[in-house]
Amino acid sequence: MNGNDFRRVQNKCRLQNGLTVNSEGRSGGLALMWKEGVNVSIQSFSKHHIDSIVNLENNKIMRVTGFYGHANLSLRHNSWDILRRVGDSVREDWVVGGDFNSILNYAEKEGGCRGSGGGLVKERIDRFLSSVSLVENFPFIATKMVRQSQSDHDAILLDLWGRRPKDHPNDHRLSFKFDVCWADDREAKKIIGSAWNRDNIDYGEKIERVRSVLGYWQRKKYGNMKSEI
């Protein structure tokens, strides 16, 4: 992406403010855009990241970092080092999103033949990562994949509010607050194992399922604890 491409997208999306980092050939390129009235403060940027602080409604502050992992494996540690340095300065709820050019394990890779270099390969290299505090403050946070017909990357939408509590007051995710004592609870271990291993789905959906079933279990088992005390 270059400056002209950025301005074209910016005008089409009617987003008046933004910052772009030009790509190098066909690799990389970052852009952060926001609409008028949104308070965004750029903290730092490079060819591998754009780090910002965003002021949300109700005076909430959030750290948002766009990230691009180096395409060259031997140089990828340089981009990780940048992210570590950003992380050292973060004191807010934090979300990192972008093309990491890396997979967690082979479960996130489909197709291709190891060693031969042939065949169509699909890998999960684009993702959002969030801090624990962000998930606690936004328990209904959700992501949605949007298929792209003219790109080999799909877009990912992040919705902080998701299904709001006022619309679903009995959602068990509201009850989910992990307690370290659960690590020794046999019933909790059984519930987690059953929810995690039920289907061959990605980690995000597995975590969401565990949150839901543990929330229900916690509400059922400990919901009346205060009145009993």
Whether the predicted pLDDT of 96 surpasses 80: yes
* Torsion sign over Cα 92, 77, 99, 206: negative
35-73 per-position pLDDT tens digit? 888 999 999 999 999 999 999 887 889 999 999 999 899
Select the highest-mean-pLDDT range: 33-47, 99-113, 149-163, 181-195: 33-47
Cβ contacts of 103 within 8 Å, gap of 6 or more: 109, 123, 124, 125
Distances (CA, A) of 62 to 35, 39, 87, 95, 173: 16, 11, 13, 8, 21
Q: Which of 20-24, 43-47, 169-173, 196-200 has the highest mean pLDDT?
A: 43-47
Q: What is the average pLDDT across 64-84?
A: 94
- Quick one: how far is CA 43 from the chain centroid? 20
Say which amino acid occupies 134.
Answer: L
As a CATH number, domain 3-159 is: 3.60.10.10
**Mean pLDDT in the chain?**
79
Domain locations in the chain as residue ranges: 3-159, 172-228
Q: Give the separation between CA 182 and CA 191, rounded to whole angstroms.
A: 11
pTM over 0.95, yes/no: no
Q: How does strand 39-46 pair with strand 30-34? A: unpaired
Sheet holding 93-99, edge to edge: 39-46, 49-55, 61-68, 93-99, 126-130
pLDDT tens-digit map of 187-220: 888 888 887 887 666 666 777 777 777 777 776 7
State the greatest distance between any 2 C-alpha atoms of the chain, in Å, as a whole number.
Answer: 65
Residue 181 DSSP class: G
**Do 40 and 17 touch, CB atoms closer than 8 A?**
yes
Q: Is it the case that residue 144 has pLDDT exceeding 60?
A: yes
